Amino acid sequence: MKVSEYISFVIDRLPKGYVFTYMDLGVEVNKKEAVIKSLNRMVVKGKIAKLSKGKYFKPETTPLGPVQPSQKQVVKDLLEEDCKLIGYLTGYSIYNQLGLTTQVSNTIQIGQNHPRAAFQRERYTITFITQKNIITKDNIPLLQILDAIRYIKKIPDARIEQSCRRFLSILKSLSEKDTTTIIRLALKYPPATRALLGAMMDELQWTNLAEHLYKSLNPLTKYPLTGAKKALSTTEKWNIE
């Protein structure tokens, strides 16, 4: 089978929106140039689309036009490496998933254990936040919640009062195990994040759980968060102004 025929055969079996490189196609290294030429011909014919240098995807066309791959597909190489989890989606796309905003952004934010500079990938700006906790498949949803609490002031088109009420609903839906875990994870977050999480847990009358967070804070430090006291009756105890 010719290289072009093999490439076409493999790509036909990929799901729409799937992002791939020539290395994902299982072709011998010495045939790299032939593979890339074949891929570029398929781009010209419209069978596949180019996301960025060396990255392609199978486009999905709807009555409204072509659909871009999901953000997770766009940055999947930054989330997993050699079958090992190295990052997770956070920020704007997660604010939307959590019901904190209806805004959609071209900035994709990723949590990783090591600092990394932002860069551009086609129409997307990829930025990073440093996560001090070990990243696991199970704790990613909790880290995403904590990140949103940490950056509550940056949630677009959302008042802090409104966001606090939404967080109360999110926390209330957690299992007992996840509630215990989120407190443990929060201990590696900045004091302001711990204070706000603690105030919300107190509001939910989870005082015993919140005590772990309270003891981790400097009693003299104040945390400015205008609007929080409209949703929480516990802000004074947690020095939230």
State the average pLDDT over residues 113-130.
94
- Put the strands of the sheet holding 119-121 in their side by side order: 87-90, 107-112, 124-130, 119-121
Report helix, strand or coil for 187.
coil
Which of 2-6, 9-13, 76-80, 159-163 comes out lowest in average pLDDT?
A: 2-6
State the average pLDDT over residues 59-76.
84
pLDDT digit string, tens, across residues 6-22:
888 889 989 989 999 88
Share of the chain above pLDDT 90, in %: 72
Residue 93 CA to residue 79 CA, distance in Å, equals: 15
How confident is the model at residue 29, as a pLDDT? 59
**pLDDT above 80: residue 26:** no
Closest CA to 198 of 241, 234, 162: 234
pLDDT digit string, tens, across residues 30-46:
678 888 888 999 999 88
